[in-house]
Structure 1
């Protein structure tokens, strides 16, 4: 007896008559309000589905399980089918009397989710979790009960799929972010969580038509922003394409309908061309003795819309609405087929991509080529093997990461495992759920660049990633200590954007540390979270020390001793929101509190308590406020203003900027003068220290004759003057054939800069040199 014959069948129960009461605040899907847990037993009925009545009062419907039973019987043992049947009965009993807004019994939704999971041939635990995925959220079933009935693995999967409805959040956005964080972290531990969740979201999107327009738009936007990128990142291309089109249809219904009509019309108009190409390709491959399946494929409506939108094209200008897919038996024949096609039609230059040699981050492998077909029409071909085709359609669902068999992990599994592990790394370094979701969404990009380490290892990064992203992708310590990079053996800034095929080498120094400026040009979530984590932890101690120094100066200015007795500190803390003096010092250091205002508050406390034993100075005018000493190595709590880039030897002033600490300007900076007028109380006296063991950025502009070798001569002179060039920008030559070159160079002080400028001035072709300000 085969498995299908011995398999126990699943049965469905009719929903009891209830009054529909749709929940307008449901997070997703077209669900009705859940009813209280019922003690009624399920009653078996025929598994043939009947059309549900859409009456607003009484709903009667039958959920069919015949399709699910047939699909599971194809690959599950009778013992596994028995476990699935138990999960189904429990879910059916828990959802008894609950209906969807469409009028169908609610149990039809878990059945549909399980059917989608069965198409991927997920194991028995995942199918059981699909059937049970809403019982904790809707019917208050506890995890302990699921563990007792179905075991810990199934209960953990269901728990990972359940939202955090019982927790109170400050906003819906915060609640949504926390739900996503929980789901993604559960997914990082077991990828089946996201597979079931994507199946759940797919069925909800398929049945979204009954929802209100506002709710359709909100759920569709959430799908497009989070679930579509996750499906693509995991290589689930069928789900990815369908979710895109469904979300598009609800976000822009008019555009969707218009494009749909245009595609149907084009389908008829281009049928002759498509058939002609199809026949020619089959004959060519047969003559080359290549066995292959050849079939046409149509671009998704959303794919057509994006191409029209991004490239400002009309529908008639989108020529590759149709393409062809060729599936061959083995790796070598994919390249043989490519050669045969290129002999049949001429390839378009620059339109060939080899994703077999270098797969996409989600494991996708194919050869892509665009050829000039009959009548001059561009036609795209995708060539792949059967195994590549299976991975292209099912992605990570084709390989199981949750099996303890690390020794046989495929490249796809290793890349997916690394990405899932990065979710856990980001979680450790992230402050809150919204920030976590922000970092994760940054990594969910459909396009990637592929670069090489010096040892020829391939690293995939999101398009737009920089050398600094590369450093953090290798290791957090490499990123934190990066000071420079070489791309293709040429020195370039860390902010340089990477291109396919680049060979990237990172130069580190134990004295290098992340700066807030790094956040402006990193692209990956891992890099952003690591930098923010460092800034939060390191900036704290530096800001505390700066705040302590500023408060001491402010206390002296109001004729008080900076050494505060414990009784006065207690009194100050009782009247403020701070829990400790260190918190007050930190707030002063980052600009959240004004040192002068805190000092005046302390003075008021002393004056209000006359017998308070506190030493005061005799004549406050005999003391003047000492300036804060700047060494340039204070870290993040002291920043040199980018508008004027002061260097030792310049007169300087300090601005206490909210959440940024102390910003140092040149005393002749025009920007600083305008800021001083707006907030005069936020300015303090600062001065340079005597021993400065670092270099400082400054900008110079050189006007030079536009001739070969001019830039090289100037750069060489700067190097010989013991200065480093961190940035160069050249303007186009003017009418007098003169070019303006802007350098950012690192110098020791103003005297060093003057010596460099004198040396450059003496070079041939240089007509003018000046220091740039503002």
Structure 2
């Protein structure tokens, strides 16, 4: 099976004298025979040199040859799993980079990319021999194997963090890294099955999204198919055979469509080239899985790409196609007017072809095609057309800069990778600022994400949004075409609850950064209280001896007790687990035997309830699902970087979560001194009659409660109306009195407290 499906045969050339005649030819279509994943033989340095001689100067070529000799010397005697000399791998990586026409420094880094990691070559030696830029590229590509990590996950996260930050400073790092990963995936068959699956999963989760984000569509598609072939080899082979068998059956339909499109474009006078395009095996598999289809139901295995000579002719060609075949409703996308985040531009339309077959067409100019296939690499590949890539370069630069911003605000490598992976997935929504500037956000992004995308200060002080000239809460999910404006207040601060609905990595990292810094004193105080209670439950003094404190800090990797308390206060560490750790250290120091069960496990102790008054700040917040009020029985839930979330004991969500992770829950009680009011939701069913809402609202006011929010829903038969209120009350007794008063109204049929 051809694993680089985009690509296709020149099926028609209406205008051979094109200005972009230097564009590399697209591969043939359909493939003549099924082929396995490409497995290159021993790479030839002569072949690499011939490629480089086409665009490098003699002096640059001399430096590249010096880098090759150095790498060859360092890797002498080292073999790959396949039995090839190891130097064949750096040469193959350099060849892929040469296809993009990367500069001499990047080619040298490709040849040297493993010498620091595998051969203990110091960075200073590389600086001395090849210069600081090359050494920095190699350093960014090197893993961190010599640092001891607690887990494989932590090590991987730190490797990705280093690589992505190096990429943010110089995009050539990730281009070389993607070339390295591509060659490793092409030769992955030499590895054992478990390692193949692990590397394929890592490729699919991280490298495929990065390739897509940078617009490297050829690499993106090949990495997807290669990963698929190693993750699900049986499905891959079965699907490959099905596609091969289907080619002959569908050739007549494809030929008929091709001939009709070619003749129509020629008759209209549009200079164009038409290419057939076969979907990747992974693309077909994903469609079958997501839409629960059999292979025979996936009709659009084939598509067509039309490359025209001008921007205007893209739309003329679109109109011509719509006149030839009927378009499918809802299947037209204009990525020219609003490009994708990775700079991709094309018109997409799906038409009903002969025999009722849906056929997808992509229409673009030659410049758009270059960017669509090569992404940021087009900057090197087509240097004479730099002006056409300005928007793409700006978008890429903005995203790379956001990586540096996230790094500054992120606590650890795992968290950094979590934030970055959120932004790597390509499904996007496009909204407008009041001045008509287009902002691209991930699908599911909210108004608060928009605020943080504009500027961190705007996000930190946001209080509400105005979407399409209507006031909306910050958690409102944005849709394509929304016009968004943010209302801010200098006194407003981020809340831990914001983390539950923001979508972008930048927003999430900024909120967490604020919670760690601005609210640090509150978190330290709460953490100290929680740890003291946990230690007391283990019959230990809250005052830690210096020797015990030093051992605890060393083993927990905290820099100070204050940092340890802050981590406990924001939920990053659990007081009960820290207390048990201290208990173990104390037992080792004193020789006292701990309480254990028959299985040899340390017996947990019941902790005293945490006392709250509702005004602790962001270190403690009340769950929005149940909105507990004084008088309710409660439990607190520790979540990473969100402090203590307090739920009512009868909250369904809390019950489910407590059954899954009981160790993260603690009993909470209200303080006897409370001097504020609390939000609470009630639902009132009233007869559909004039003035019903006014009478209920008036009675709530008479009951000394404040109305925060109200919404009305019609019942199906129209005889009743359901009114939902969010009100502020003092406690459970106050709420009961209010509900009795409202229930006494003649127009009220039912009233109850709403939990979700």
- Normalising by structure 2, we get a TM-score of 0.79
- Equivalents in 1 of 2:652, 2:308: separation in Å? 69
Name the SS of the counterpart of 1:449 in structure 2: strand
Q: Cα 1:502–1:753, aligned 2, differ >3 Å: closer, same or farther?
A: farther
Q: Which structure 2 residues correspond to residues 1-150 of structure 1 after superposition, within 5 A?
A: 63-150=43-130
- Equivalents in 1 of 2:208, 2:533: separation in Å? 56
Q: Is the 8 A contact 2:214 2:342 kept in 1?
A: yes
Task: Provide the residue aligned with 1:226 in structure 2.
Answer: 206
Q: How large is the RMSD of aligned CA atoms in angstroms?
A: 4.3
Q: Cα 1:382–1:641, aligned 2, differ >3 Å: closer, same or farther?
A: closer
| Shift in Å, 1:532 | 1.9
- Equivalents in 1 of 2:77, 2:483: separation in Å? 62
Q: Which structure 2 residues correspond to residues 681-696 of structure 1 after superposition, within 5 A?
A: 686-690=671-675, 692=676, 696=678
- Does residue 636 (structure 1) correspond to residue 618 (structure 2)? The answer is yes
Name the SS of the counterpart of 2:681 in structure 1: strand
Residues 297-323 of structure 1 show CA distances to partners (whole Å, capped at 9, x for unaligned) of 000000000000000001111111000
Q: Is the 8 A contact 2:612 2:669 kept in 1?
A: no
Task: Provide the residue aligned with 1:528 in structure 2.
Answer: 508
Task: Provide the residue aligned with 1:698 in structure 2.
Answer: 680
**Greater displacement, 118-127 / 82-91:** 82-91
**Greater displacement, 475-484 / 142-151:** 475-484
- Equivalents in 2 of 1:584, 1:437: separation in Å? 23
- Does residue 185 (structure 1) correspond to residue 165 (structure 2)? The answer is yes
- Equivalents in 1 of 2:305, 2:386: separation in Å? 33
Q: Which structure 2 residues correspond to residues 194-343 of structure 1 after superposition, within 5 A?
A: 194-343=174-323
- Equivalents in 1 of 2:507, 2:273: separation in Å? 44
Which residue of 627, 632, 657 corresponds with 1:645? Answer: 627
Name the SS of the counterpart of 1:349 in structure 2: coil
Q: Cα 1:84–1:757, aligned 2, differ >3 Å: closer, same or farther?
A: same
Q: Cα 1:466–1:672, aligned 2, differ >3 Å: closer, same or farther?
A: closer
Name the SS of the counterpart of 1:339 in structure 2: helix
- Does residue 378 (structure 1) correspond to residue 363 (structure 2)? The answer is no
- Equivalents in 2 of 1:584, 1:139: separation in Å? 39
Q: Cα 1:371–1:569, aligned 2, differ >3 Å: closer, same or farther?
A: closer
Task: Provide the residue aligned with 1:389 in structure 2.
Answer: 369
Q: Cα 1:124–1:714, aligned 2, differ >3 Å: closer, same or farther?
A: farther
Q: Is the 8 A contact 1:701 1:740 kept in 2?
A: yes
- Equivalents in 1 of 2:364, 2:624: separation in Å? 52
- Equivalents in 1 of 2:561, 2:366: separation in Å? 67
Q: Is the 8 A contact 1:724 1:747 kept in 2?
A: no
Task: Provide the residue aligned with 2:330 in structure 1.
Answer: 350
| Shift in Å, 1:219 | 0.6
Name the SS of the counterpart of 1:370 in structure 2: strand
- Does residue 767 (structure 1) correspond to residue 752 (structure 2)? The answer is no
Which residue of 433, 455, 470 corresponds with 2:435? Answer: 455
Name the SS of the counterpart of 1:687 in structure 2: coil
Q: Cα 1:340–1:628, aligned 2, differ >3 Å: closer, same or farther?
A: closer
Name the SS of the counterpart of 1:382 in structure 2: strand
| Shift in Å, 1:537 | 2.5
- Equivalents in 2 of 1:128, 1:554: separation in Å? 57
Residues 552-598 of structure 1 show CA distances to partners (whole Å, capped at 9, x for unaligned) of 99999xxxxx9x9xxx886797699479775787688679558xx99
- Equivalents in 2 of 1:748, 1:477: separation in Å? 34
Residues 370-406 of structure 1 show CA distances to partners (whole Å, capped at 9, x for unaligned) of 11111111111000000000000000111269x9x99
Q: Is the 8 A contact 1:652 1:664 kept in 2?
A: no
Q: Cα 1:131–1:473, aligned 2, differ >3 Å: closer, same or farther?
A: same
- Equivalents in 2 of 1:329, 1:100: separation in Å? 47
Q: Which structure 2 residues correspond to residues 501-650 of structure 1 after superposition, within 5 A?
A: 501-546=481-526, 577=552, 593=575, 630=613, 632-640=614-622, 642=624, 645-647=627-629, 650=630
| Shift in Å, 1:743 | 3.4
Q: Cα 1:733–1:747, aligned 2, differ >3 Å: closer, same or farther?
A: farther
Task: Provide the residue aligned with 2:594 in structure 1.
Answer: none
- Equivalents in 2 of 1:235, 1:670: separation in Å? 45
Task: Provide the residue aligned with 1:467 in structure 2.
Answer: 447
Name the SS of the counterpart of 2:330 in structure 1: strand
Residues 243-278 of structure 1 show CA distances to partners (whole Å, capped at 9, x for unaligned) of 000000111011111111111111111111111111
Task: Provide the residue aligned with 1:614 in structure 2.
Answer: none
Q: Is the 8 A contact 1:88 1:131 kept in 2?
A: yes
Q: Is the 8 A contact 1:652 1:686 kept in 2?
A: no
Q: Cα 1:709–1:135, aligned 2, differ >3 Å: closer, same or farther?
A: farther
- Equivalents in 2 of 1:229, 1:673: separation in Å? 37
Residues 198-256 of structure 1 show CA distances to partners (whole Å, capped at 9, x for unaligned) of 00100111111111111111110010000000000000000000000000011101111
Residues 467-513 of structure 1 show CA distances to partners (whole Å, capped at 9, x for unaligned) of 22112111222222222222222223322221111112222223332
Name the SS of the counterpart of 1:511 in structure 2: coil
Q: Is the 8 A contact 1:364 1:391 kept in 2?
A: yes
Q: Is the 8 A contact 2:341 2:426 kept in 1?
A: no
- Equivalents in 2 of 1:321, 1:265: separation in Å? 12
Task: Provide the residue aligned with 1:6 in structure 2.
Answer: none
| Shift in Å, 1:524 | 1.3
Residues 71-101 of structure 1 show CA distances to partners (whole Å, capped at 9, x for unaligned) of 2222222222122111112112222222212
| Shift in Å, 1:745 | 3.9
- Equivalents in 2 of 1:550, 1:213: separation in Å? 47
**Greater displacement, 89-98 / 379-388:** 89-98
- Higher relative CO (CA 8 A, sep ≥ 6), structure 1 or 2? 2
Which residue of 711, 719, 743 corresponds with 2:725? Answer: 743
Unaligned runs of 5+ in 1: 1-28, 32-48, 52-61, 557-561, 602-624
- Equivalents in 2 of 1:341, 1:715: separation in Å? 59
Q: Cα 1:759–1:469, aligned 2, differ >3 Å: closer, same or farther?
A: farther
Q: Cα 1:571–1:182, aligned 2, differ >3 Å: closer, same or farther?
A: closer
Q: Cα 1:112–1:571, aligned 2, differ >3 Å: closer, same or farther?
A: closer
| Shift in Å, 1:417 | 0.6
Number of matched pairs: 674
| Shift in Å, 1:652 | 6.4
Q: Is the 8 A contact 1:590 1:657 kept in 2?
A: no
**Greater displacement, 287-296 / 512-521:** 512-521
Q: Is the 8 A contact 2:523 2:569 kept in 1?
A: yes
- Equivalents in 1 of 2:319, 2:652: separation in Å? 66
- Equivalents in 1 of 2:519, 2:535: separation in Å? 24
Unaligned runs of 5+ in 2: 1-36, 554-558, 584-607
| Shift in Å, 1:413 | 0.9
- Equivalents in 2 of 1:98, 1:510: separation in Å? 62
Name the SS of the counterpart of 1:270 in structure 2: helix
Name the SS of the counterpart of 2:300 in structure 1: coil
| Shift in Å, 1:164 | 1.0
| Shift in Å, 1:64 | 1.5
| Shift in Å, 1:139 | 1.4
- Equivalents in 1 of 2:399, 2:564: separation in Å? 40
Q: Is the 8 A contact 2:636 2:647 kept in 1?
A: no
Residues 278-333 of structure 1 show CA distances to partners (whole Å, capped at 9, x for unaligned) of 11111111111110010100000000000000000011111110000000111011
